[in-house]
Amino acid sequence: MKILYVAMRYDYGLPSRGESFEHYNFYEPLRDMGHDILYFDFMTLLEEHGRRAMNRRLLDVCRSEKPDVLFSCLFKDELEKETLRDISAPTTLSPRQAAHCRSTPRSAIGESSRASGDATICVIGRSTSRKSTT
């Protein structure tokens, strides 16, 4: 499965602190399971180019690579709601997309808590329907 992995590579975005919790606990296991991972280090791009440019780049990557799933671990509200809506559009990722975001303590696409230590994990990917066997 092709996964667009959107998270900080470095702890708090600082290379001097080493690789992040998310890198060790999400990226490495997904990679070790044999998935084709496209790494999108949003924090580095955000710091180098700003929020709007980073969001445009993410949308460009989604359109060009057409991943099966977008998996993200956000720090604050780095992804714009419009970007998430555009990514969720049927023509941006692989066919039959659905979106699910879990935010602490609130839950909605693009909504994240600004309190220290809260994180938003968002997975946008293929929806699967299961037929009843009865």
Domain locations along the chain:
2-126
Q: What is the pLDDT of residue 17?
A: 94
Q: What is the pLDDT of residue 123?
A: 53
Q: How many residues does the chain have?
A: 134
Mean pLDDT, consecutive 10-residue stretches, the chain (134 aa), reads 91 91 91 93 94 95 90 84 83 46 37 38 45 40
Q: Are 108 and 71 in contact (CB under 8 A)?
A: no
- Taking the C-alpha atoms of residue 58 and residue 3, their distance in angstroms, rounded to an integer, is 13
- By DSSP bridging, strand 97-103 and strand 69-74 are unpaired
Q: What is the pLDDT of residue 91?
A: 57
**Letter for the amino acid at 32?**
D
CA geometry: angle 43, 29, 54, nearest 5 deg: 20
- The whole-model pTM stands at 0.68
